[in-house]
Amino acid sequence: MKRTLSVAALVVAFGAGLLVSNYVGTVEGQQKKAPGEGFAAVPGQKGGHDVFGPYDPVQNWPRPLGESLPNHDAWTYSQATDVFPESEDRVLATFKGELPVLPSGRGRGTTWLPQIGPSIKFPVGGGVPMREAASATPSFGKAVDESDGRPGVDWRWEHVIMVFDRNGKMIEDWSQWDRIWGRPHDVEISPYDPEKHIWIVDADAHFVSKFTHDGKQRLLTLGTPGVPGTDDTHFSRPTFLAFMDANTMYLADGYDGTRVIKYDGNGKKILEWGMKGNQPNERRPSYFNSVHGIAVNPKTRRVYVNDRNNGRIQVFDENGKFLDQWDAGPRPPMNIHSIYMGQDGILWGADQGSNKLVAWDADGHFLYSWGTFGTCQGCQWGIHGFATDKAGNLYTAEVRTGRIQKYAPHKGANPAFMVGKPWPGVW
């Protein structure tokens, strides 16, 4: 009995000594870790939490339309589908026209709506949006009856492509092209193109166009505008474009199409892959339902495809050989609308269901997520496209609020939690 007690006492004494040694070693010879290091975007921050992740939302960016355009004080941005920052001083964005400015709901009375149901009134209040921009504007040329609203009153098809400076002021007007679009969906510049041509994908009009850097000339069109299809000269609501190198690009085709198309740098088709799956739980490789997002890793030559209606990410080599897949999250609420990969090789997805940005490593392991629903600056409702500039600023395009947002890196934030900077190129 005495021997057992002696051994126990020795173990306790050794443990206590180890704890003291570790504590002394930490304070005397080692740097103490900041609270939250390893799982918090801003380790050591006192108070607060990761509402905006490692970023601070930039207030009043972009500026109201009335500050840049005459006779626009009563109008604002409609559905924002994508954003591409060439630099801090030239940020391109695609919109679904314009919507009238709504009066603030604060201090206003509410209206009961018994025709809809009991105990329903509007505005709801509490930060709930008053309008959903994605359904407020019909695609150009698609308005057929009064349910689509009154053109010139409920919506206007103007200023579909806009360019902003670092302060959020519109600096370029592309309205000369307004009437060619059905619904511009994606805007890109290849990092490997010294002339910085601008590519725009139009989902509802079924084509992709290449423009000069200043937007004054249209140089190339892939697909047949206004005519859907699945052959070499037609698309079926294409969505996004990604550049692997100077002579390789990939098109996600699309909402109704079920394929990925590989082109050379001049728009000549090289190959395609993909077949129509059985949504919503298709798990066979290379079967798709709504190819709504594509990203590439130029180092590994991998292609990441968002198989949206099946709730998964599929991974292929550069020629379409299937390599891997993973579920993007539980459905509902998960609904990934676009994906992005920067030079750190981390894949980010914009989840419209949870209103979060979600990060996975290249093999699909979950790393981090952040975001919160709302219409306040920095809150999210319906991110559809997003990208970063070389300074590390993040830009998001929201289809439901109808806005572009800019986020600046928070002081002291862990860079590992930020969306990666764009792949280095020739400009």
Residues 6 or more apart in contact with residue 287 via CB below 8 angstroms: 258, 274, 275, 276, 277, 278, 307, 310
Residues 224-260: pLDDT tens digits?
Answer: 999 999 999 999 999 999 999 999 999 999 999 999 9
pLDDT reported for residue 406? 99
Q: Is residue 282 situated within a structural domain?
A: yes
Least confident residue range of 9-23, 54-68, 256-270, 377-391: 9-23
Q: Is residue 34 situated within a structural domain?
A: no
**Full residue range of the structural domain in which residue 69 is found:** 63-103+120-417
Helix (H) or strand (E) holding 314: strand 312-317
The residue-averaged pLDDT of 93-108 equals 83
Q: Is residue 306 situated within a structural domain?
A: yes
Amino acid in the structure at residue 286: S
CA–CA separation, 346 and 80 (whole Å): 25
Q: Is residue 210 situated within a structural domain?
A: yes
pLDDT reported for residue 193? 98
Cβ atoms within 10 Å of 338's Cβ, excluding its own: 29
How many structural domains does the chain have?
A: 1
* pLDDT of residue 26 exceeding 80: no
Q: Is residue 8 situated within a structural domain?
A: no
The residue-averaged pLDDT of 118-130 equals 83
Q: Is the peptide bond before 141 cis (omega within 30 degrees of 0)?
A: no
Tokens matching residue 237: 């609501």
Torsion sign (Cα): 371, 377, 383, 386: negative
CA–CA separation, 93 and 186 (whole Å): 9
Q: Is residue 237 situated within a structural domain?
A: yes
CA nearest to 36, candidates 25, 26, 48, 28: 48
Torsion sign (Cα): 357, 360, 361, 363: negative
Per-residue burial over 318-337, b if 16 or more Cβ lie within 10 Å, else e, is bebeeeebeebbeeeebbbb
Question: What CATH number has the domain bearing residue 77?
Answer: 2.120.10.30
CA–CA separation, 318 and 266 (whole Å): 17
* pLDDT of residue 314 exceeding 70: yes
Tokens matching residue 110: 């509410």
Q: Is residue 52 situated within a structural domain?
A: no
The residue-averaged pLDDT of 14-18 equals 43
pTM over 0.85: yes
CA–CA separation, 363 and 377 (whole Å): 33
Q: Are 296 and 245 in contact (CB under 8 A)?
A: no
Residues 281-313: pLDDT tens digits?
Answer: 999 999 999 999 999 999 999 999 999 999 999
CA nearest to 189, candidates 180, 176, 198: 198
CA nearest to 96, candidates 146, 55, 53, 139: 139
Amino acid in the structure at residue 423: W
pLDDT reported for residue 31? 65
pLDDT reported for residue 12? 44
Residues 6 or more apart in contact with residue 134 via CB below 8 angstroms: 79, 96, 382, 399, 400, 402
Main-chain dihedrals φ then ψ at residue 307, nearest 5 degrees: -90, 80
- CA triplet 376, 86, 380: central angle to 5 degrees? 15
- Give the N- to C-terminal CA distance of the chain in Å, as an integer: 79
Q: Are 251 and 302 in contact (CB under 8 A)?
A: no
Q: Is residue 26 situated within a structural domain?
A: no
Main-chain dihedrals φ then ψ at residue 199, nearest 5 degrees: -110, 135
- CA triplet 234, 237, 241: central angle to 5 degrees? 90
Helix (H, G, I), strand (E, B) or coil at 322: strand
The DSSP symbol for 122 reads: E
The residue-averaged pLDDT of 29-37 equals 72
405: left (phi over 0), alpha (psi -120 to 50) or beta: beta
